[in-house]
Amino acid sequence: MLRFAFWLTALLILPLGLGLYWLPQESAAQLGASPLWLVRGAGAMITAWGAALLYAGVRTDPTGRVLLVSGNLLLAATLGAGALRLNLPDQLQNVLLGYAALLLGLGLVGLLAKSATLPQSGGALHE
């Protein structure tokens, strides 16, 4: 279940980061992002976060779990607050609130799921 949360979150985050990175200048101006390099930097950071989630999904460890939970909960809170506060069209507001709810759910799955790592055996080999 934990790996599923990692992979699904990465599949949600990677397109968002790539979309921001390759966002046309006209669309960035409509969103209110004045310097285009700021949008490109945010897209690059979100894409790197998605790649880190993909890697953490392959090899789950406590650090990756903290990355999943904290990132999902922070992004869900930011999207939810922004969607409720800004004067957005109803359809866009519903999409953002749904995305925030999905990230919140995946963050809670990462927090509550048992880890799927194998126990480490220490010491010398037994014959």
pLDDT over threshold 70, residue 81: yes
Q: How far apart are CA 27 and CA 7, in angstroms?
A: 29
- Position 100 scores a pLDDT of 92
Hey, CA dihedral for 119, 122, 124, 127, is it positive or negative? negative
**CB 104 within 8 Å of CB 76:** yes
The mean pLDDT of the chain is 82
Residue whose pair of structure tokens reads 């953002």 in the numeric block: 96
- Residue 15 has φ and ψ, to the nearest 5°, of -65, -35
- Position 75 scores a pLDDT of 86
- Position 101 scores a pLDDT of 95
Please tell me which residue, 31 or 123, carries the higher pLDDT value.
Answer: 31
Domain ranges in the chain? 2-112
Encoding tokens for residue 65?
Answer: 């779990």
pLDDT tens figures, 51-79: 888 888 888 778 788 888 888 898 899 88
pLDDT tens figures, 89-122: 899 889 889 989 999 999 998 888 876 554 455 5
Q: How far apart are CA 127 and CA 125, in angstroms?
A: 6
Q: Work out the percent of the chain whose per-residue pLDDT is above 90.
A: 12
Helix (H, G, I), strand (E, B) or coil at 6: helix
